[in-house]
Copies of this chain bind each other. A is one copy, B any other.
């Protein structure tokens, strides 16, 4: 490639959206990437890296293949929340190497961000925001905004501080351009400030965005000093992450199984769950074993084991999913707790009763044995009620002890409910055995 080609390429590349640049970048091999680093300035590379998903497994390699100074300049140019997200996936020694190449203030700023837990407001915030003293006039603010437009992650909200650097007002650019230039922002700013604390969980942050439909929210420390803002694009990532976690939890797979994992890696992520559940299911086996005498007397009982355990497990999974979802959306206090349990008991009774009657009829007619049908139906009804209750009680108890309720997965509930279903089934069968074996 000669010079002119490079220039033509530069223009085409830089005219693309950052996301399209990143899609292109990911198709390159190591040699082509080196050529790209030669053609593009660190800041141009930084724009693209701002859009790259920070959890791509290749990102550490990308950084380490760059010249150290180039990488440091790029990181310094990036929005600091994204730079921190990238650095989080590197070894401490490499992080230090990059930070040493930066101006002290910027390096310390990034070090500060790296120090927050990744799943809190501090972990997703940026310090690249627009702040003014509250005494500024509207006209000046618009003038000064131009300075921020190059570096701030959003200029659509202005944060107004008093002389003690306390956050005292917020103003949107939309409201600002409606003001006369000579107006003091102090007199027109919004003082009913919705902010989040730097230690707030990211789910709580997402709730604020959902409810208030903001594009950005200020983050304050315990002394109400403003330390950063969170922008809506980062919140979309949080919502995706949370949904992914809930979903994965329900199916007992690890959140982080990626399409790039080979079969061995995928299996190694699924096996811990499977083996744990297998061990739990061995208790069910010993329970059935305990009733071997009953089974020898009436091998027909074996026919309906999987019907009862399966259906009760399905019912338990349903009530689990409803409970986990509710816990994700609302805080549940004591009085709600008993109301919900009461409701789930009744729901379990209705579903159990209807399903039990269906099974009673099916089995009764099929086997021309309505006593057997009654036993299976009664066991089904009781097993569903217990599974339903467990499905809502267990996640609520986990939440009240501070665990993530989504860890109580569907497979866990259905394996657990196998145990109680088998116990209920054989207990009831034991009582009636003389009636249905004889008939």
Contact = CB atoms under 8 A, between A and B. Distances in A.
Interface of A: 15-20, 51, 142, 145-146, 149, 155-156, 173-175, 177-178, 192, 194, 209-213, 215, 232-233, 235-236, 239-240, 243-244, 246-248, 250-253, 257, 259, 262-264, 266-267, 270-271, 273-275, 277-278, 281-282, 284-285, 288-289, 292, 295-296, 299-307, 309-311, 313-315, 317-318, 320-322, 325-326, 330, 343-344, 346-347, 349-351, 354-355, 358-359, 362, 384, 410-411, 414-415, 418, 422
A274 B253 CA distance: 24
B355 A271 contact: yes
Q: Is chain A's interface secondary structure helix, strand, loop, or mixed overall?
A: helix
Contacts of A282: 307, 362
Contact of A174 (B149, B211, B305, B306): B149
A250 B252 CA distance: 11
A310 B277 contact: yes
A310 B295 contact: no
A263 B347 CA distance: 4
A277 to B, nearest CB: 5
Given A174-B155, A302-B295, A311 B274 contact: yes
Give how many copies assemble into the complex. Answer: 2
A33 B311 CA distance: 46
A306 B285 contact: yes
Contacts of A415: 310, 314
A299 B149 CA distance: 77
Given A292-B300, A321-B253, A325-B244, A177 B149 contact: yes
A322 B253 contact: yes
B299 A257 contact: no
